[in-house]
Amino acid sequence: MDYTSGVARAAALLREAHYAIALTGAGISTPSGIPDFRSPGTGLWERADPMEVASIYAFRRHPEAFYTWMRPLVMTLLAAEPNPGHLALAELEAGGWLKAIITQNIDNLHQQAGSREVLELHGHLREATCISCYHVMPTGELLDDFLASGEVPRCPVCGGVMKPNVVLFGEQLPIQVVNEVMEHVRRADLMLVAGSSLEVIPASRLPLLVSEHAGRLIVINLTPTYIDEVAEVVIHADVAEVLPRIARACAEG
């Protein structure tokens, strides 16, 4: 299916769907300047061993290593702005063609773009939790102080190390979010996959679950995914270019 007919078909499927949801990965945020994790040459794991800097085991032993690695990424995340892909998904939701966005990203860009029902499977940077007394607090001042000093953020209650509420390797996904995600997946008759290589479990299994109960799939990603062969529409292109065209086609209906 060529690019133009793929956009038209995707828009038609969204207009026909009773309950469409989206799954997004790092590829929707790379146009906003946020590096992904696995791209050859540019991925974050090209320059660091994830188990040494981004696992819960390493964090508990050497939180300073995590924060040293995280500092430039936090600067990038805080400076990033939604791109046309994020804005298009918000438009699809506002138009009633999309019920929810399930994202693997921690960058808050869907919310900044105006999306309302956003389920963050891998957590977010808006809050942090003390690993000693479990005190939870907003990260605003913590991150400002950390970026200014480079020092590990400490709990104002007990002095323990504060950990951002993002899911590290070795941690469970937030159960309440997982339950909400599964409820949307059970109801979905269409899933739009945008900017995900579908390599990270369990998020990578979600399109398959939709397909198994006769839901349709639209896949927009630069590189092929394992689910392409059963998807109704597959477009290998930049989501920041394709999604606005789909949103426009839905509106022009």
Check pLDDT > 70 for residue 49. Answer: no
Please check the confidence at residue 50 and state whether its pLDDT lies above 90.
Answer: no
Nearest to 128 by CA among 141, 112, 109: 141
Q: Give per-residue pLDDT as tens, 100-156.
A: 999 999 999 999 999 999 999 999 999 999 999 999 999 988 989 999 999 999 999
For range 12-22, the mean pLDDT: 98
What pLDDT, on a 0 to 100 scale, did the predictor assign at position 37?
A: 59
pLDDT at 67 over 90: yes
Q: What is the pLDDT of residues 208-229, one digit of tens each?
A: 999 999 999 999 999 999 999 9
Which residues are 161's β-sheet partners? 154
Report the C-alpha gap between 95 and 149 in whole angstroms: 44
Instruction: Assign residue 127 a region (left: φ > 0; alpha: ψ between -120 and 50; beta: otherwise).
Output: beta
Long-range contacts: 231-236, Cβ < 8 Å, 24+? 231/193, 231/207, 232/9, 232/13, 233/1, 233/6, 233/9, 233/10, 233/13, 234/1, 234/6, 235/1, 235/3, 235/6, 235/7, 235/10
CB 90 within 8 A of CB 83: no
Confidence category of residue 3, pLDDT binned at 50, 70, 90: confident
* pLDDT, greater one: 42 or 36: 36
Which residues have CB under 8 Å from 236's CB, separation 6+? 221, 222, 223, 224
Using the structure block, give the residue that is written with the tokens 């007990």.
158
pLDDT at 47: 59
- How much of the chain is helix, strand and coil, in % rounded to 5? 45, 20, 35
C-alpha span between 97 and 177 (Å, rounded)? 22
CB 248: neighbour CB atoms within 10 A? Answer: 13
Q: Which of 122, 124, 213, 236 is catalytic?
A: 122
Model pLDDT for residues 162-195, shown as the tens digit of each residue: 999 999 999 999 999 999 999 999 999 999 999 9
Inter-axis angle of helices 63-79 and 140-149, to 10 degrees?
A: 110
**What domains appear along the chain, each with residue ranges and CATH number?**
1-34+83-122+173-253 (3.40.50.1220), 35-79+125-166 (3.30.1600.10)
Please measure the distance between the N-terminal and C-terminal CA atoms of the chain and give it in whole angstroms.
20
Q: Going by C-beta distance under 8 Å and a sequence separation of 6 or more, which residues neighbour residue 37? A: 26, 43, 44, 45, 50
Determine the Cα–Cα distance for residues 36 and 229; give it in Å rounded to an integer: 24
Known catalytic residue: 110?
Answer: no
